[in-house]
Every structure is written in structure tokens, then in C-alpha cells.
Amino acid sequence: MKLVFASDIHGSAYYCAKLLEQYQNEQADKLILLGDILYHGPRNALPKEYAPMEVAQMLNAHKQEILCVRGNCDAEVDQMVLEFPIMADYAVLSLGDRMAYITHGHIHNSGNLPMMRPQDLLIHGHTHVQALQQNEDHMYINPGSVSIPKEDNVASYMVYEDGKFVIKAVETGETVKELTL
């Protein structure tokens, strides 16, 4: 199964369109959104082409293919315009012989781990910083931000297939980082 992970769209119609273009190019089975879909939040500047309703319409066209968790900028009012569930705090996926805890990152993160076994995966967004790290007791993975990257990262998304994570640039699809389990 091929999965695309993306986080922190923050209402950018420009970057949402780029993400969906890459998702189609990847021919993935599922798009997993790690929260902060429509609102930019008070700490962030407006992203390029801020148009939350347009983002909702673009994503709703793919509603059967999306698995989403709630970000700290997501609210019940956002759920009213999105046709796929966004209010779950986390999801758990089996990726090969490992369990992956999928969340936004504002509650559970490397500093506040959920209940995980050693070698399980923690996949979250929130920081807007890409990460593919093997820590002492878990693996931490972050696709970065689709629209508001931080710490000199490029706008990015991530692909998982056959035990390999690849972080790619949203605008070009070029590989930024990769990790094989």
C-alpha cells in the first residue's frame, strides 16, 4: 500500500492544489492529513492564496481517500464544511511489523509520547519541520508543512511504501529526505 502523509495546509489553496497534484502523481492509495487543514492560526502569517473554502472543496473531492486527525487549529466549525472526519486526536496504523501512532503533534510528540512499544513509529506534523529520526525508544517522523515550512525547510509532504519513507518537495516532487525501516 502506498500512502501520502501531509500536514499543516493552513487554508492555502495554492499549496493544497500542489499537494493534490503530487498525490495524483504518486498514485497513492490514501492521503493521510495530520491536521491544521483550513485555519492559519494566530501564530502564523497568512499562507499563499489563503482560501479555506476552496481548500475544503478541493479536499472534499477526495473524501473517500482521506484519513485525517485533528490539529490544534482545527475546530468543529471546520468539520461543518469538510465531508470527511477531522476531529480524531489520533489514529493507529499497522505499517509492516510496526505500529504507527498518527497525530498532529500538539498533544503527543517526542517530548510527550503516547503509549507505544519500542520501535513503534510516531508520525506527526505541527512543528512544520521535517524529521526522520530513530530515537532511543521510538522512531519520530514528520513530513513538515505543506504551506508554512519552518527552519529553512521547503514546503513538503511524505510518501510511505514498502517500508520506506520519502519526504518530497510539494512544488517539484523532488526527494528531500528518505528513510528505510
Q: What tens-digit pLDDT sequence spans the chain (181 residues)?
A: 999 999 999 999 999 999 999 999 999 999 999 999 999 888 888 999 999 999 999 999 999 999 999 999 999 999 999 999 999 999 999 998 899 999 999 999 988 989 988 889 999 999 999 999 988 778 999 999 999 999 999 999 999 999 999 999 999 999 999 999 8
Cell, residue 55: 481548500
Could you give the CA distance from residue 107 to residue 100 in angstroms, rounded to a whole number? Answer: 16
Contact assessment for residue 122 and residue 108, using Cβ atoms and an 8 Å cutoff: yes
pLDDT given at position 130: 97
What number of residues does the chain have?
181
What domains can you pick out in the chain, each with its CATH number?
Answer: 3-180 (3.60.21.10)
pLDDT given at position 163: 93
pLDDT given at position 146: 98
H or E element at residue 60: helix 52-60
The label of the residue with cell 487549529 reads: 73
pTM: 0.96
pLDDT given at position 28: 98
pLDDT given at position 181: 85
pLDDT given at position 45: 86
Could you give the CA distance from residue 54 to residue 168 in angstroms, rounded to a whole number? Answer: 24
pLDDT given at position 97: 86
